[in-house]
Amino acid sequence: MKNTNKRILVIGGTGMLGKPVAVQLKADGFAVRLLARDPQKARRLLGDGYEIMRGDVEDSETLRTALCGVDGVHISLKGGPTSADFERMDHLATGEIAKTAKEMKVGRVTILSAYAVSADKADTPESRSKFKGEVALKASGVPYTIFRASWFMETLPLFVQGKSISLIGNQPHPLHWVAAEDYARMVSISYQTEAALNKELYIFGPEAYNMGEAMNIYAEHAGLKVATMSTQMLALLGALTFNTEWKGMATLMKHYEKWGEDGSAEEANRLLGEPMVTLNEWCQRTRG
């Protein structure tokens, strides 16, 4: 329990990918503080042993209070589905957190980004906002670690509708699917080494499958069938039904039709330990 004197603020700690980080940090001996709009919900999700503060990242007063006395802050925000929402969360909120953390002499900021985030890949509202958020974080002067993760295994159930899982668009690129538990362990280790500071680290799982292959593996374990839909059809359905989630998903999947992994996980694996959970292992565990 060597980290008991260190306190980490987790922003987005009740989310699908923020919660595992909060749990891992606590397991590794850190004092974990969460900023939550609904503290009771956060308590139900995470249980005891966490310091939970009511507040919102867009409220500068509660943000400053949450950052007071912490050694680090982990950002796991989810913007969207509209362009304005991505800009508000992934860019402006990230920049404000970083700026305030620098002013309050917080030791480091870590953030979950994505592998297809860079100046030349900023071709959607989400990728543009994430890239601008990364730029704002670096410009703030606060020490940082950016985690550019591949697709998470935990996202697969989000594509399930009834008895089928939807493969949207032509997704040819091999992807190193990563389990949230491996990612969370790597984030926690990053807070235990100075070597991870001021780096962009690619987080890739141990095996590569394109999205169709990964969905077939998941479908076999879950007793589902794989259904296909073009990004154009999903965008049309979204427009006809005024469904911003569907329109946003069509834009997202068209983005990933274009961009595959082109970074290297070598540095992240050397500094933080290699991800170990395979997709089949994760499917067996999650499907009982």
Give the model confidence (pLDDT) of 89-137 as tens digits.
Answer: 999 999 999 999 999 999 999 999 999 998 899 999 999 999 999 999 9
pLDDT value for 185: 98
pLDDT > 70: percent of the chain: 98
pLDDT of 1 > 70? The answer is no
pTM for the full predicted model: 0.94
pLDDT value for 186: 98
pLDDT value for 2: 62
Give the model confidence (pLDDT) of 45-102 as tens digits.
Answer: 999 999 999 999 999 999 999 999 999 999 999 888 889 999 999 999 999 999 999 9
pLDDT value for 89: 95
Supply the CATH classification number for the domain 7-150+178-206+262-276: 3.40.50.720
Three-state SS for the chain is CCCCCCEEEEECCCCCCHHHHHHHHHHCCCEEEEEECCHHHHHHHHCCCCEEEECCCCCHHHHHHHHCCCCEEEECCCCCCCHHHHHHHHHHHHHHHHHHHHHCCCCEEEEEEECCCCHHHCCCHHHHHHHHHHHHHHHHCCCEEEEEECCEHHHHHHHEECCEEEEECCCCCCEECECHHHHHHHHHHHCCCHHHCCEEEEECCCCEECHHHHHHHHHHHHCCEEEEECHHHHHHHHHHHCCHHHHHHHHHHHHHHHCCCCCCCHHHHHHHCCCCCCHHHHHHHHCC
Question: If pLDDT is split at 50, 70 and 90, which confidence band does 36 have?
Answer: very high
Tell me what the mean pLDDT of segment 184-197 comes to: 97
